[in-house]
Amino acid sequence: MPHTTASPFRVPEVADLHDAALTAALQSAIDGKTKPLGSLGRIEWLAQRIGAVLGTATPELREPQMLVCAADHGLAARGVSAYPSEVTHQMVRNFVAGGAAVSVLARQHGIALTVVDCGVREAVPEQPGLLSRRLGPGTQDALDGPAMSAEQCEQALAHGADVVRGLPGNALLLGEMGIGNTSAASLLLARLGGLEVGDVTGAGTGLDADAVLRKIGVLRAVLQRHAQAREPLAALAAFGGFEIATLAGAALQAAAERRVILVDGFIASSAVLVASKLRPHLLQRCVFAHRSGERGHALMLAHLRAEPLLDLGLRLGEGSGAALAWPLLQSACALLNQMASFASAGVSQSAIDAAPTARAEPELTAADASRKPAR
């Protein structure tokens, strides 16, 4: 039986984090460390971001949670993936058994891993580390009709929020699994980002060039089939999938609770795209782990005005890139809290300050992005 949530989903409020006094305190603390101004580059931006999210100039990351949401997609039957849908079920079992890349990396870095079956075609029994929040055996074929109903979409969002409410800690890492979900992400970016679908569609799990062209043709037909689905939740329901909608609900709840949100690759970013269209200030809580090798991800990040921490050519998904980036967040906090200041170390700041050093250029905030539309 599908898991249900009693109350309907209400998009939580996500306030503007802008706090001039805290920003100044964080910058002063960073600039006062025993180093030339700006010499730690984007790690300094990262320390600022984490401090702003957690509301303190001495931020500490506690009990990080990796949330991997999995589901199948009806559109996969159209040949948009190099792998069959059975792989989703097999990989969920692999996650729970501890053999997947994200399982290894989460274990290495002390990140708690929770896997959610949001609608895998073949259900996996609930067990430690695996929650069942199923809305059916995968979404419908989006070329025949909406991937999910408006009610299913709302329920998936509610499931994501409910799961986050039950997790400890102040940092949430987003991952996913679902054969066919790069197609859903490409459709969401094309529609909500106003981009040509051919520009944002890539090989996914490993399609060859001819198969990618066929995939683009299918996605163009899906966009035409749902030409009226232009609002964020209408597009999400039209294109799917259950795991993307669950992650969007999780991101919204994490943002409302002022957790740091570490976003993995293309599909996880598509969930954040939807969530940010509903609550733009959510982006102030986000750190984007990496720029994936999937074709549309660079355009997704550009639309979100986000600069990722890593660029390693990853395209595995699962949350693997987020897990790899996690130590950078830990380092940013450790440097902010433990690195000596000029005063405490008895080092002369005047000589170092005399040499000009450029600070790393900060990312635009969600408020900045809302004032200046993406080109």
Q: How many residues are listed for the chain in this entry? A: 375
Task: Report DSSP letters for 270-293, one per residue.
Answer: HHHHHHHHH-GGGGGGEEE-B--S
- Whether the CB-CB separation of 264 and 250 falls below 8 Å is answered with no
3-state secondary structure of 8: coil
Q: How many CA atoms lie within 13 A of 85 on its CB side?
A: 18
Are 52 and 22 in contact by the 8 Å Cβ rule? The answer is yes
What's the token pair of residue 283? 């982006």
Q: Are 246 and 122 in contact (CB under 8 A)?
A: no
Q: In angstroms, rounded to a whole number, what is the distance separating the alpha carbons of residues 356 and 320?
A: 38
- Point out the catalytic residue in the list 44, 294, 307, 318: 318
**What distance in Å separates the CA atoms of residue 259 and residue 54, rounded to the nearest whole number?**
7
For residue 175, what are the β-bridge partners?
68
Catalytic site residue 318?
A: yes
User: CA 293, CA 204: separation in Å to the nearest integer?
Assistant: 9
CA distance 64 to 325: 13
Name the β-bridge partners of 290.
Answer: 310
Q: What is the rounded distance in angstroms from the CA atom of residue 194 to the CA atom of residue 302?
A: 12
Strand 286-288: give its sheet, edge to edge. Answer: 130-132, 112-119, 65-71, 171-177, 260-263, 286-288
Which residues are designated catalytic?
318
